[in-house]
Amino acid sequence: MNRLVVLAIALSIPLLLLLNSWQAYRYEALTRETVRLERHQHDVIEEQKRAIATLSVLRSPSRVRDIARNQLDLKRVDIGRIYTIHLESGR
């Protein structure tokens, strides 16, 4: 019985070393994947920041006014030429 216990311990040492190596490999693979995802997240956040900045520039009143005057040839209307129509609801 004593020899059987020693044999079981002797055979389990290489198995445990193999399991330890496999666990280290999995940990390293997950670490690489985490770093890759963090970089991707950072890139997406920066792209969104640039899009928001571009949107705020494109929506500025001065830009809209410039496009209306120069590209669309629109003119300001006198306040006297503006009519407001109020409709009653058809209940």
pLDDT-derived band of residue 91, with 50, 70 and 90 as boundaries?
low
Question: Do 38 and 44 form a contact (C-beta atoms < 8 A)?
Answer: no
Task: Say what the pTM is.
Answer: 0.55
Reported as half-sphere exposure (CB side, CA atoms, 13 A), residue 62 has a value of 2
Question: Do 63 and 57 form a contact (C-beta atoms < 8 A)?
Answer: yes
Give the list of residues 6+ apart from residue 68 with CB closer than 8 angstroms, or none.
Answer: 74
For the chain, which residues make up each domain, given as ranges?
Answer: 2-73
DSSP 79: G
Residue with tokens 């003119």: 75
Give the model's pLDDT for residue 39.
Answer: 98
